[in-house]
Amino acid sequence: MTTAIVRALCVRLQNNMFTQELNAVYILWLRQIKRYYRARSRVIGSFAQPLLFLFALGYGLGPVYAQAGKGNYIDFLVPGIISMSIIFSGMFSGLAVIWDRQFGFLRETLVAPVSRLSIMLGRTLGGATIAFGQGVFIFIVSLFIGFHVQNWILVIPAFIMMFLIAILFTALGTGMASRLEDIQGFQFIMNFLLMPLFFLSGALFPLTNIPTVLMYIVAFNPLSYGVDALRALLVGTTQFGIGMDFVVVTSVAIVFMVLGAYLFSTIEA
């Protein structure tokens, strides 16, 4: 009898704790969203770069691409630019941990009575939601400049893939930021990690007939599979196969989440 009561109490306590962890995830998510839409200049800035790439490359290289007998460059380019907006925004949101450290707010979350896992999860989901939203925005804009969706049903799995890419890069950014002391490291990551990942993912140009060394880099770049999946779903061309794409992106996203959560849990301030 007593044990039953004790057990019931424990279960209730656990439920409460679980609810509290979920609430923590929610409030951290909400904070990211609020901060994002309040920073107008940041919102505009975050769209400017991918749109510039879309217009400049789309119209600039389109004729060259067509002359090479490859078809419509906009159709090729759009999945790449969607990915670009997602990875830059996701990485940026993840790295925002550095700013929170600099401005002291990180400590408020680190002394709170919730697990670091929930804190990392909330932040990552918040950043990923923003990154995903930007990807959707680029997708909509691209429809107005001549992007052809081959099958509208497949837009749904394409959106799922976009969210997975967003999670992957936000988690990567969060994990890295938990090891960086200041903002200098941020530029380094942007230039030496994110840019190469982006250029060697097949986002801007087809990665066939390239040197073997580069081919290996491409094969080890998780973004290659993300871009390939979006191309498969939206345009109907694929290099690795859609199953492979989902397996790779999902597994890497999970690995980065776990790794990021671990790194985040060891932060001392």
Partner 1 sequence: MWSTVSASPIIEVIHLSKNFGEFSAVNDISFSVPKGEIYAFLGPNGAGKSTTIKMLTTLLRPTKGGVRICDVDVLQHPSEARRLFSVMFQEPSLDDELTAYENLEFHGVLYGVPRALRHERIDELLEMVELADRRHHMVKGFSGGMKRRLEIARGLLHHPRILFLDEPTVGLDPQTRNHLWEYVHVLNKSESITVFFTTHYLDEVDQHAHLVSIIDHGVIIADGTVDSIKKETHTDTMESAYLSLTGKMIREEGGDNSNRSRIMRAFAK
* Contacts to partner 1 by CB under 8 A: 16, 20, 23-24, 26-27, 31, 34-35, 38-39, 103-115, 268-269
Question: Which amino acid would we find at residue 195?
Answer: M
Whichever of 39 and 143 has its CB closer to partner 1, that residue is: 39
Q: How far is the CB of 29 from partner 1 (least distance, A)?
A: 11
Whichever of 1 and 268 has its CB closer to partner 1, that residue is: 268
Q: Could you tell me which residues come within 8 angstroms of residue 98 by beta carbon, excluding any fewer than 6 positions away?
A: 177, 180, 182, 183, 185, 186
Whichever of 34 and 179 has its CB closer to partner 1, that residue is: 34
Q: Could you tell me which residues come within 8 angstroms of residue 69 by beta carbon, excluding any fewer than 6 positions away?
A: none
Work out the angle at residue 172's Cα, subtended by the Cα atoms of residues 20 and 30, and round it to the nearest 5 degrees.
Answer: 35
Question: Which amino acid would we find at residue 74?
Answer: I
Q: How far is the CB of 146 from partner 1 (least distance, A)?
A: 38
Whichever of 33 and 61 has its CB closer to partner 1, that residue is: 33
Which DSSP letter does residue 194 get? Answer: I
Q: How far is the CB of 149 from partner 1 (least distance, A)?
A: 37
Q: How far is the CB of 256 from partner 1 (least distance, A)?
A: 25
CB-based contact 260:172 (threshold 8 Å)? yes
Q: Which residue has the tokens 């995830």?
A: 25
Whichever of 31 and 51 has its CB closer to partner 1, that residue is: 31
Q: How far is the CB of 104 from partner 1 (least distance, A)?
A: 4
Whichever of 100 and 240 has its CB closer to partner 1, that residue is: 100
Provide the terminal-to-terminal Cα distance of the chain, rounded to the nearest Å. Answer: 46
Whichever of 97 and 149 has its CB closer to partner 1, that residue is: 97
Q: How far is the CB of 124 from partner 1 (least distance, A)?
A: 17
Helical spans, DSSP H, in the chain: 2-38, 40-67, 73-102, 105-110, 116-144, 155-177, 184-189, 195-199, 212-220, 222-234, 242-265
Collapse the DSSP code of 170 into the 3-class scheme (helix H, G, I; strand E, B; otherwise coil) and give the result: helix
- Closest Cα to residue 154, out of 218, 79, 81? 79
Q: How far is the CB of 155 from partner 1 (least distance, A)?
A: 33
